[in-house]
Structure 1
Amino acid sequence: MSAVTDQRPPVGARAPALGTPATMRGLFRRVFLVNVAVLLASSALLVFSPVTVSAPIVAAEVAVLGLGLLTALVLNALLLRASLRPLDGLTALMERVDLLRPGERLPAAGTGDVAHLLRTFNGMLDRLEAERGASAARALAAQEGERQRIARELHDEIGQSLTAVLLALKRAADTAPEPLRTDLGMVTETVRASLDEVRQVARRLRPGVLDDLGLVSAIDALAADVTEASGVPVTVEVDPLLPGLGAEAELVVYRIAQESLTNVARHAGAQAVDLSLRHADAAVVLTVTDDGRGIGDGVEGAGIRGMRERALLVGAELAVGPHPDGGTEVRLRVPVREGGGDDR
């Protein structure tokens, strides 16, 4: 957090803009000097060459002057194009830049005005990505805290109340006459189903098994819940030598797996899902593939962009796209920190 704070300008100071007067004056000087060079070269050619203009002018002289003018225009265009070519790349980057896909920068070699402009823009992207990451981390931490609070209240308060109701109904059913006992039995089953739903909601909000038994057990439980709720079988394959990632990274992996499976159940129309956790190239790789209708070329929704924000928190790489065999593939690559370590 302190690194982000240190990069911010002092209160009341104006951050350097892409169109500051100094930058624009420098660019103007560069263009002006290019034109001066072309005009001086043209003038020197006219002064020191044997070319003259008669009165009235003859056709050969018109051809020579036209050739000289064309040469000056071509040289001017080439020099200006070479000077301003980096601005095309800057425009293209400004149109496609996405803070959820960080790291894309423009090369800014040299000491000219355009190079200074590119370095200023790259620095602005650095600050924006750092501040976006910090704000996303705060927002997601608050979200997880709220989820944990709601899950605890569902389990401790509503869950206990429904359990007390179940016990009371059982006692009433034991002493009730036969016709009423049947009705009480139906009510008991309804309350029991409601209690199960409350527990499932609490488990989705804050997976206690992740804290108690670890990532692999939490993924297995998540897959079983999704299969039971949606009817779509989820096959889980886990590397037996999976290294520890730490509590924050494991929560990111779990949430992205949860969002991926939820998207499959709601939107994909899939018949089967494969989920794998593997250790490869100093990273843990989560892959979720389905055989559904595919993701298409539309704009990414809030769910996928939320997954990208979570991935940025732990320096992970997230790719979401069509699978070669049809359907959709979600691939998350989480680098393993040196020493592995568990920060629970």
Structure 2
Amino acid sequence: MSLFWRIFGLNAVVLCAATALLLWAPVTVSVPVVLTEAVVLVGGLVVMLIANAALLRVGLAPLDRLTQRMTTVDLLQPGRRLPVGGHGGVAELLRTFNEMLGRLEAERASSSARALSAQESERRRIAQELHDEVGQSMTAVLLELKRAADRAPEPLRTDLQQAQETTRESLGEVRRLARRLRPGVLDDLGLISALTSLANDFTTHTDLTVRRRFDPGLPALEPETELVLYRVAQEGLTNAARHAEARSVRLTLRHTPATVVLEVSDDGHGIGHAHEGAGIRGMRERAVLIGAALDIGPGPSGGARIRLTVPRDGDAA
């Protein structure tokens, strides 16, 4: 039954019931209308309107659910669908909406894959230029400063050695930025070594104490999946260092026969009702890219916990 005939039928039922009551009820209408007859007519009208409103609410309830879902739909949290029951126009509308959500999620995943691929390519290019161009130039400056300091008299030698030390620290910072932009250790030594290097880097250059626990025997993963796991861990540690006011972070990577789970939990002030920023949205986009589930909530020690659950090969569907 279409929506038009559904509404028409509900109103017809109410009007027929009201007509039957007028035909068979022992009630007459005088001219002019007396007070008791007016009370009966008004009461019947009120009852008819209440019944009509109740029936319409039942008939249009699927549209109310559709409206609520349309206001809360998020393409970065895929898989949410409206239950479809029965036949007719309303059921067809719900099925069409669910199919539209599926197409939008697929298009969002495809566009996110292209954008993230371009982003990683640009990061790789910038990291390569930092390493090859800026790094080599600063290395040459460092050697020149050393040569000049060896030939300079004592008062000037101290200043040149100080400049040499500053240049060395800047060179180390450039190399660290290059590693964060494109972790070469991820390509060369794998995910575990890359996460270990990342944890050591945060422990060295921030006030965080990063405790890590990685299950042995990690199964082979696609390079794209390893990169997503690394980026989510990197973003989680960055959020803990910059925004959570945390003192310690726990980084774990475990696996089951069906999934690989990455978890970053801290002892900071938690997320609460804070608005999701670009970092969290980026993590959600990366999770959608590989068909993973990203859960962000309170941690066991009162801070925040980021959990990325990645299906193993053959389970992504």
Does residue 301 of structure 2 align to residue 325 of structure 1? yes
What is the letter of the counterpart of residue 277 of structure 1? L
TM superposition shift of 1:53? 1.7
Match of 1:10 in 2: none
Q: Secondary structure at the match of 2:243?
A: helix
**Is the alpha carbon distance of 1:162 and 1:332 closer, same or farther for their aligned partners in structure 2, counting shifts above 3 Å?**
same
Match of 1:126 in 2: 102
Q: Secondary structure at the match of 2:212?
A: strand
- 1:255 & 1:88 partners in 2: Cα distance? 39
What is the letter of the counterpart of residue 117 of structure 2? A
Does residue 11 of structure 2 align to residue 53 of structure 1? no
What TM-score do the two structures reach when normalised by structure 2? 0.91
TM superposition shift of 1:279? 0.7
Once the two structures are superposed, the pairs formed by residues 13-92 of structure 1 within 5 Å of their partners are: 26-47=2-23, 49=24, 51-53=26-28, 55=30, 69=45, 72-92=48-68
- 1:187 & 1:42 partners in 2: Cα distance? 97
Match of 2:314 in 1: 338
Quote the RMSD (CA, aligned, Å): 2.4
What TM-score do the two structures reach when normalised by structure 1? 0.84
- 2:29 & 2:235 partners in 1: Cα distance? 83
TM superposition shift of 1:112? 1.8
8 Å contact kept, 2:258–2:315: no
- 2:161 & 2:222 partners in 1: Cα distance? 46
Match of 2:173 in 1: 197
**Is the alpha carbon distance of 1:178 and 1:52 closer, same or farther for their aligned partners in structure 2, counting shifts above 3 Å?**
closer
Does residue 221 of structure 2 align to residue 253 of structure 1? no
**Is the alpha carbon distance of 1:180 and 1:123 closer, same or farther for their aligned partners in structure 2, counting shifts above 3 Å?**
same
- 2:9 & 2:122 partners in 1: Cα distance? 62
Match of 1:4 in 2: none
**Is the alpha carbon distance of 1:168 and 1:38 closer, same or farther for their aligned partners in structure 2, counting shifts above 3 Å?**
same
Match of 2:91 in 1: 115
Does residue 249 of structure 2 align to residue 273 of structure 1? yes
- 2:91 & 2:26 partners in 1: Cα distance? 41
Once the two structures are superposed, the pairs formed by residues 158-307 of structure 1 within 5 Å of their partners are: 158-280=134-256, 282-307=258-283
**Is the alpha carbon distance of 1:318 and 1:339 closer, same or farther for their aligned partners in structure 2, counting shifts above 3 Å?**
closer
List gaps (5 residues or longer) in structure 1: 1-22
- 2:82 & 2:313 partners in 1: Cα distance? 29
What is the letter of the counterpart of residue 145 of structure 2? L
Query: Percent of aligned positions with the same letter in both sequences?
Result: 60
- 1:149 & 1:120 partners in 2: Cα distance? 44
8 Å contact kept, 2:266–2:301: no
TM superposition shift of 1:240? 0.5
Aligned structure 1 segments of 4 or more residues deviating by more than 6 angstroms: 56-64
TM superposition shift of 1:59? 8.3
Equivalent in 288, 303, 306 of residue 312 of structure 1: 288
| Paired residues, number | 315
What is the letter of the counterpart of residue 325 of structure 1? S
8 Å contact kept, 2:127–2:181: yes
What is the letter of the counterpart of residue 206 of structure 1? R
TM superposition shift of 1:173? 2.5
- 2:172 & 2:296 partners in 1: Cα distance? 33
**Is the alpha carbon distance of 1:63 and 1:272 closer, same or farther for their aligned partners in structure 2, counting shifts above 3 Å?**
same
